[in-house]
């Protein structure tokens, strides 16, 4: 096996290090986070750090890179409290990935891609039209990570919209049916296939 020590990692070429460390932890979720400023300018950006934090209350979190440079999504969330999380499916990966480009706050990524805004149930932030799984979220808190200057943002899920065919009778969402993709590293998109589901694990069973 190839071995890299911490000193090896710290002395690597930046791009090589980014690719290695962003992919060595495994596949990540692939979502579009959409928000809207107080002035009504929408924003949508790809996030690979959104993760489940709890089901009662229903919470999710995501990691935001240091706010030493403008972070339009975070500014919108702090100012309005609302945003949406939209699963990326295989038909929109090129446009979804383009939202990682750094546009100024007065420009909406919806205007620079073939992604379209969708508003539902008087929710302030837009959803991504055509996303098969969508969540409307409200900001709860953020925590500074002193180790690297990032923020952990915590939010409560207030709305969930699911393509009907993707939900099984027990509530389970089949991401395979929804064609939800995952991210490998920074720029690799994959379409996973379900291998098996198991019963709830209990001792001696």
User: What one-character-per-residue DSSP string does 149-199 give?
Assistant: TEEEEEEEEEEEEE-GGGB-TTS-B-HHHHTB-EEETTTEEE--------P
Given a cut of 70, whether residue 69 has pLDDT beyond it is no
Range of the domain at 99: 25-190
Residue 48 covered by a domain:
yes
Q: What is the mean pLDDT of residues 74-78?
A: 93
Model confidence at 201, pLDDT cuts 50, 70, 90, reads confident
Contacts (Cβ under 8 Å, ≥6 apart) of 7 = none
Q: What is the mean pLDDT of residues 142-162?
A: 96
Look at residue 200 in the predicted model and tell me its pLDDT.
Answer: 84
CA-based end-to-end distance of the chain = 36
Residue 13 covered by a domain:
no
Residue 171 covered by a domain:
yes
Given a cut of 70, whether residue 68 has pLDDT beyond it is no
pTM of the entire predicted model? 0.92
Q: What is the mean pLDDT of residues 180-198?
A: 93
Distances (CA, A) of 120 to 27, 63, 161: 31, 26, 10
Given a cut of 70, whether residue 146 has pLDDT beyond it is yes
pLDDT in tens, 87-143: 999 999 999 999 998 888 889 999 999 999 999 999 999 999 999 999 999 999 999
Q: What is the mean pLDDT of residues 27-44?
A: 95
Residue 127 covered by a domain:
yes
**Nearest partner of 180 among 108, 109, 85, 98, judged by Cα:** 85
Q: What is the mean pLDDT of residues 156-160?
A: 98
Distances (CA, A) of 115 to 36, 49, 69: 15, 21, 25
Mean of the per-residue pLDDT values of the chain: 94
CATH number of the domain where residue 123 is located: 2.30.110.10
Given a cut of 80, whether residue 71 has pLDDT beyond it is no
Looking at the structure of the chain, the number of domains it has is 1
Residue 9 covered by a domain:
no
Residue 71 covered by a domain:
yes
Residue 197 covered by a domain:
no
Look at residue 104 in the predicted model and tell me its pLDDT.
Answer: 84
| 142 beta partners | 153
């Amino acid at each position: 096996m190839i071995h890299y020590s911490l000193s090896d990692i710290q002395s690597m070429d930046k791009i090589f290090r980014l690719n290695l460390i962003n992919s060595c932890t495994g596949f990540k979720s692939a979502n579009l986070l959409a928000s809207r400023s107080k002035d009504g300018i929408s924003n949508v950006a790809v996030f690979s750090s959104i993760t489940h934090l709890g089901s009662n209350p229903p919470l999710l979190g995501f990691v935001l890179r240091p706010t030493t440079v403008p972070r339009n999504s975070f500014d919108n969330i702090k100012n309005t409290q609302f945003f949406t999380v939209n699963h990326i499916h295989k038909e929109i990966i090129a446009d979804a990935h383009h939202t990682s480009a750094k546009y100024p706050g007065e420009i909406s990524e919806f205007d620079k891609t073939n992604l379209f805004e969708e508003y539902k149930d008087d929710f302030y932030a837009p959803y991504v039209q055509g996303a098969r799984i969508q969540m409307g979220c409200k900001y709860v808190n953020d925590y500074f990570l002193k180790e690297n200057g990032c923020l952990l943002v915590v939010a409560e899920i207030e709305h969930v919209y699911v393509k009907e065919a993707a939900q099984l009778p027990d509530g389970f969402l089949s991401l395979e049916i929804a064609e939800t993709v995952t991210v490998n590293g920074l720029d690799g998109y994959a379409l996973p296939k379900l291998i098996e589901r198991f019963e709830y694990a209990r001792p001696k069973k």
